[in-house]
Homo-oligomer: A and B are copies of this chain.
Amino acid sequence: MSRTFSAPHLVNPDTRSRVLSTAESLGYRPNRAARALITGRTHNIGLIVADIANPFFPPLIKAAESQARQRDYHLFVADTNEDPIMEEQLVQALAKQVDGVLLCSPRMSNDLIEKLRREVPLVVVNRAVDGLPAVVMDVANGAKAAIEHLVGLGHHDLALLGGPRGSWTNREIRRSAMAAAKLAGANLTVLGPHQPTEAAGAAACDAVRATGATAVLAYNDLMAIGLLEALHDRGVDVPGELSVVGIDDIMLSRLIRPKLTTVSTPTAAAGRAAVDMLLQHDDERRTNALVTLQTELIVRDSTGPNPH
């Protein structure tokens, strides 16, 4: 009898235990897909990220999965390869199989997000979208702290190694870094857009040096690390000749030499928060809920005083 599983409280304890033991001996397990058909709740969540192998995402995925399963949900994970078109396809493909989708660091337009939210409940991570539940990191404040840190070290000529087109985070960083530089009376040259990868960071090395900057803020740690590698190959001393700051504080950043100064973003907390927002009942959910997670500048060894 299905009530034993779906509404245990209004069934006779005797009957219940009898059913339970029979079920046990038969190895019976309720079929969630069949249940979903009638209840409309699948107890599945979709998680869409730009690149599973980008070290930024695994801690987020892990935290989301853990939080989801604690609430008896399973997690679909899908990878868009940084392709906005793939994002749309994936949301639609998963829509019928999940109770909601976590869209992490989307590259698609806000208009498209608006369209997709009508097909399936959406929570967006790393993007603020009007009227949509979202989890963002306060990267603006982080970028500001990074610029102030560099200016405090005597740097006047700064460069920003920009991230991918379509990234809300990238826009926030640029806006905030430009404002902070202006306020401090420093020059800031903006480079980009670039893919958020180590290879792109390395490839941008010469462009960075051509700006004449003595300090660089990168869109993320991966690009900063790529830049560091290329700088090392060219015999440029960090932080002696050039200071480098990243954003994210991925595991790598404290393991490389010099240890990377970076803005730490709470990725695991973001994963948990996103799951919580998706799963909290609609009546509690304010449609414009926006959770902003704090960031923190971690000063390590890749930044130093202006050599000039």
User: Is B96 in contact with A74, judged by CB distance below 8 angstroms?
Assistant: no
Give bound CA distance, A236 to B39, whole Å. Answer: 62
Decide: B65 and A61 in contact? CB cutoff 8 A. Answer: no
The answer to whether B65 and A77 touch across the interface, beta carbons within 8 angstroms, is yes
Query: Does chain B have a CB within 8 A of A79?
Result: yes
A75 touches B78 (CB 8 A): yes
Residue A18 interfacial (CB < 8 Å)? no
Known: A36-B33, A52-B65, A96-B32. A76 touches B78 (CB 8 A): no
- A59 to chain B minimum Cβ distance, whole angstroms, is 5
Stretch among A144-152, A177-185, A252-260, A296-304 lining the B interface: A252-260
Q: What string of 1s and 0s marks CB contacts (under 8 Å) between A242-253 and chain B?
A: 000000000110
Q: How far is the CA of A251 from the CA of B31 in the complex (A)?
A: 40
Let me know if A96 and B65 touch, CB within 8 A. Answer: no
| A33 neighbours in B (Cβ, 8 Å) | 33, 36-37, 42, 96-97
The distance from the CB of A142 to the nearest CB of chain B, in whole angstroms, is 22
Interface residues of A in 33-76 (CB under 8 A from B): 33-34, 36-37, 42, 44, 51-53, 55, 57-59, 61-62, 65-66, 69, 74-76
From the candidates B66, B225, B255, name the one contacting A229 in the complex (CB within 8 A): B255
Q: Does A93 contact B (CB under 8 A)?
A: yes
By beta carbon, the residue of chain B nearest A58 is B53
Q: Chain B contacts of A34 at CB under 8 A?
A: 37
Is the beta-carbon distance between B74 and A62 smaller than 8 angstroms? no
Q: How far is the CA of A62 from the CA of B27 in the complex (A)?
A: 33
Question: A297 CA to B72 CA in the complex, in Å?
Answer: 43
With A76-B75, A78-B74 known as contacts, the answer to whether A92 contacts B29 (CB < 8 A) is yes
B97 and A74: CB pair below 8 A?
yes
Interface digits, A162-196 against B, CB 8 Å rule (1 contact, 0 not)?
00000000000000000000000000000000000
Residues of B within 8 A of A76 (CB): 44, 74-77
Closest-CB distance, A24 to chain B (whole angstroms): 13
Cβ contacts A192-204/B at 8 Å (1 or 0 each): 0000001000000
Q: Kindly identify, within residues 204 to 242 of chain A, every residue whose CB is under 8 Å from any CB belonging to chain B.
A: 225, 229
Q: Is A95 an interface residue (CB 8 A)?
A: yes
A94 interfacial by beta-carbon distance below 8 Å? yes
Is A69 touching B78 in the complex (CB atoms < 8 A)? yes
Docked pose: A291 CA to B49 CA in angstroms:
30
Q: Given A52-B65, A61-B52, A79-B66, check contact A96 B29 (CB 8 Å).
A: yes
Give 5 closest A-B pairs by Cβ, nearest first: A52-B62, A77-B77, A33-B33, A257-B257, A53-B58
- Extra inter-chain contacts (10) besides given A30-B96, A65-B79, CB under 8 Å: A29-B95, A33-B33, A37-B37, A51-B62, A53-B59, A53-B62, A53-B251, A74-B94, A77-B77, A225-B255
